[in-house]
Amino acid sequence: MLAALARRGQFLRVQGIAEWPDGTVATRYTFIHDLYREILYERVPAGQRVRWHRQVGLRLEAGYGVQAPELPAELAEHFVRGRDMPRAVRYLSEAEETALRRSAYHEAIRHLSRGLDLLPELPDVPERTAQELHLNVALGAALTANKGFAAAKVGQAYTRARELSRQVADSPQLAPVLLGLWVYYHVRAELQTAHELGEELLRLAHRWHDPILRHQAHHALGITSTDVGAFTQALEHLEQAVALYTPEQHRTHTELSVYDTGAVCLAFAAHNLWYLGYPDQASRRNQEALALAETLAHPYTTAGTLCLAALLASLRRDGQQAEAWAEAMMALSHDQGFPYMWAWGAVVRGWALSVQGQSHEGLDLLRQGLAAYGATGAAVLHTYWRLLHAEALGGAGDPEAALRSLDEALATIAGSGEHRSEAELYRLQGELLQQLSEDKWPAGLTPEACFRRAIELARHQQAKSLELRATIRLSRLWQRQGKPQTARQLLSEIYDWFSEGFDTVDLQEAKRLGEELTASREIRRVRQHHAGERTLHPCGSARIRSRVLRLLQYTDQPERLLSQADRAAISDTSQGWNHR
Phi, psi of 6 (to 5 degrees): -65, -40
CB 189 within 8 A of CB 380: yes
Specify the pLDDT at position 551.
Answer: 54
CB 424 within 8 A of CB 406: no
Nearest to 129 by CA among 117, 119, 118: 119
Distance (Å, whole) CA 146 – CA 409: 28
Distance (Å, whole) CA 396 – CA 390: 10
Distance (Å, whole) CA 429 – CA 383: 13
Query: Three-class SS of residue 339?
Result: helix
Total Cβ atoms within 10 A of residue 575? 15
Specify the pLDDT at position 542.
Answer: 54
* DSSP, res 26: E
**Residue ranges of domains in the chain:** 1-43, 530-579
Per-residue pLDDT in tens (0 to 9) along the chain, 580 residues: 778 888 888 888 888 888 888 888 888 888 888 888 888 888 888 898 889 889 988 988 888 888 887 788 888 888 888 888 888 888 888 888 888 778 788 899 999 999 998 988 888 888 899 889 989 999 998 999 889 999 999 999 999 999 999 888 778 889 999 999 999 999 999 999 999 999 999 999 999 999 999 999 999 999 999 999 999 999 999 999 999 998 888 777 676 678 999 999 999 999 999 999 999 999 999 999 999 999 999 999 999 999 999 999 999 999 999 999 999 999 999 999 999 999 999 999 999 999 999 999 999 999 999 999 999 999 999 999 999 999 999 999 999 999 999 999 999 998 999 999 999 999 999 999 999 999 999 988 999 999 999 999 999 999 999 999 999 999 999 999 999 999 999 999 999 999 999 999 999 999 999 999 988 777 766 666 655 554 444 555 555 555 555 555 555 555 555 555 455 444 443 343 233 3
Distance (Å, whole) CA 214 – CA 220: 10
Write the single-letter amino acid at 373. Y
**Distance of CA 184 to CAs 150, 298, 405, Å?**
5, 21, 26
Total Cβ atoms within 10 A of residue 356? 14
Q: Full-prediction pTM beyond 0.95?
A: no
Query: Three-class SS of residue 478?
Result: helix
Specify the pLDDT at position 572.
Answer: 44
Specify the pLDDT at position 467.
Answer: 98
Specify the pLDDT at position 577.
Answer: 29
Q: Taking the CA atoms of the chain, what radius of gyration do you get in angstroms?
A: 32
Give exposure, 123-159, as e/b (b: 16+ Cβ within 10 Å): eeeeebbbbbbbbbbbbbbbbbbbbbbbbebbbebbb
Distance (Å, whole) CA 327 – CA 310: 9
Degrees, nearest 5: CA angle 194-111-175: 30
Q: How far apart are the first and last CA of the chain?
A: 101
**Distance of CA 64 to CAs 22, 83, 512, Å?**
6, 21, 73
Specify the pLDDT at position 528.
Answer: 65
Specify the pLDDT at position 556.
Answer: 55
Torsion, Cα 506 511 513 514, to 10 degrees, reads 140
User: Which residues neighbour 165 within 8 Å (Cβ) at sequence distance 6 or greater?
Assistant: 133, 171, 173, 174, 177
User: Which residues neighbour 293 within 8 Å (Cβ) at sequence distance 6 or greater?
Assistant: 260, 263, 301, 302, 304, 305, 306
